Amino acid sequence: MKNLNEMTDEELAISYIEGNNRAFDILLSNNQRKVFMYILFVVRNRDVANDVFQDTFVKVITQLQQKRYVPNGKFSAWVMRIAHNEIMDWYRDQRNDKIVEAPKDNDLSNVGGADVTLNSIESHFVNNQVLADVKRMMNLLPASQREVVYMRFYQEMSFKEIAETTGVSINTSLGRMRYAILNLRRMAKEHDVQLQLA
């Protein structure tokens, strides 16, 4: 049998399901920072983030104990999906009107090349000052847009992974990114911030 420290997260999850509590300690250690930073970035309040983080891992433990985890993908993506759902539950509880959902007719088939800068953004790194400006402006985005930008650029998730984690279609994820980029451009123009690619 493999040493716990040599196991993947997926193997650790199965080991925990089979009764090895030490496996969960390692799983938590491997994932807590990434999950907490994601939650904090979306809710923007450390106390709320702590609460949502706790709720997330209570749900993770419960689902593992009920043997509802199937290792058919990355364990971290499964946990992020649970965290996303907990964040959305918290927003619903707050009746917060800051969540902007994509419109029902969110169709990107008519988007032209000048409107989408995803490829150029993905193929360049921005310098430190621009990154700092972008981070400040990102905090002003609606939660759904801020979330997709964070997952894409800070956690390097694919749009397929983002869609699965947030429970929306890939088209909706792309739409949220498009709106986020348009909003960031508008804010940059309004505040005369130069977004010069490195």
What pLDDT digit, counting tens, does each position of 10-65 carry? 999 999 999 999 999 999 999 999 999 999 988 989 999 999 999 999 899 999 99
Greater confidence (102 vs 16) lies with 16
The verdict on residue 196 lying in a domain is no
79 and 157 inside one domain: no
Percentage with pLDDT > 70 across the chain: 78
* In the predicted structure, residue 3 carries a pLDDT above the cut 50: yes
Do 89 and 21 fall within a single domain? yes
User: What integer best gives the mean pLDDT of the chain?
Assistant: 80
CA distance 29 to 87: 21
Sorting pLDDT into bands at 50, 70 and 90, what band is 84? very high
- Residue that is last in its domain, among 54, 79, 94: 94
Q: Note whether 124 and 174 are same-domain residues.
A: yes
Give me the CATH number covering residue 42: 1.10.1740.10
83 and 164 in a single domain? The answer is: no
Same domain, 86 and 136: no
Residue 24 sits in the same domain as residue 89: yes
pLDDT recorded at residue 118: 45
The answer to whether position 105 is within a domain reads: no
CA angle, residues 102, 100, 190, in degrees to nearest 5: 105
Q: How far apart are CA 116 and CA 178, in angstroms?
A: 7
User: Is residue 25 a part of any domain in this protein?
Assistant: yes
Whether 197 maps to a domain, the answer reads no
| Confidence at residue 120, expressed as pLDDT on a 0 to 100 scale | 42
HSE toward the beta carbon, residue 58, CA cutoff 13 A: 8
Based on the domain organization, do 84 and 50 belong to the same domain? yes
Least confident of 13-27, 32-46, 71-85, 131-145: 131-145
Average pLDDT over residues 180-189: 84
Q: For residue 142, give its domain range.
A: 118-190
Specify the number of domains making up the chain.
2
Is the pLDDT at 117 greater than 60? The verdict is no
pTM comes to 0.61
Do 84 and 8 sit in the same domain of this protein?
Answer: yes
Where is the domain boundary, 34, 60, 94? 94
* 101 pLDDT higher than 70: no
Output the domain CATH number for residue 147.
1.10.10.10
Phi-psi category of residue 94: left, alpha or beta, with phi > 0 → left and psi -120 to 50 → alpha = alpha
Q: Is residue 102 part of a domain?
A: no
pLDDT (tens digit, 9 = 90+) per residue, 156-184?
A: 888 888 999 999 998 898 889 888 888 88
28 domain-assigned: yes
Residue 48 maps to a domain: yes
Q: Are residues 63 and 25 in the same domain?
A: yes
For 9-31, give the DSSP string. Answer: HHHHHHHHHTT-HHHHHHHHHHH
